[in-house]
Amino acid sequence: QVQLVESGGGLVQAGGSLRLSCVASGFRFALDYYAIGWFRQAPGKEREGISCTSDDDGRTSYVDSVKGRFTISRDNAKKTVYLQMDNLKPEDTAVYYCAIKMFGKQECSVYGMDFWGKGTQVIVSS
C-alpha cells in the first residue's frame, strides 16, 4: 500500500525558509518509474501544483510563483522527497501536499495523481 507522509510545516515570518519532507513507502522508491510532486491549497482557493519531478522525462518543473524560491529534490536512500522553500511570502500560506502518479503518463496534475499524503500546514506571517 502506497503511503506518503508530509512533515516540516509550521509558522515562519516572511522572508524565512522551511523544508518540507515527504516520506514514501509501499513501492520501490529508487526503482519504480513515477512522477512525484508538491501541491498546495490555500483557504478558499483551489488546490494547485507547485513543483514536480518525473521519471518520464527526467525533468523538474515549478509553477511561476515559486520559481527561484522553491527547490524539489529526492533522496532515494531515505525514500524522501523534499521541498526547500526560501524567501517565503504570506501568499505561500497553505496546506502543502505530496502526491504521486504511478500509472499512465508520469506527469503531475491536480486531478491525475494516484496517491496523496494528508498534508502539512505552512503559515507565513507578514
Residue 100: per-residue pLDDT? 96
- Angstrom distance (rounded) from CA 88 to CA 48: 17
Range with lowest mean pLDDT among 14-23, 26-35, 76-85, 105-114: 26-35
Residue 91: what are its φ and ψ, rounded to 5°?
Answer: -70, -5
Position of cell 504570506? 90
Residue 58: per-residue pLDDT? 80
pLDDT digits (tens, 9 = 90+) for 38-88: 999 999 999 999 999 998 778 899 999 999 999 999 999 999 999 999 999
Helix or strand or coil: residue 96?
strand
Decide: 20 and 38 in contact? Cβ < 8 Å. Answer: yes
Residue 30: per-residue pLDDT? 85
Q: How does DSSP assign 4-53, residue by residue?
A: EEEE--EEEETT--EEEEEEEESS-TTTS--EEEEEEE-TTS--EEEEEE
pLDDT digits (tens, 9 = 90+) for 79-98: 999 999 999 999 999 999 99
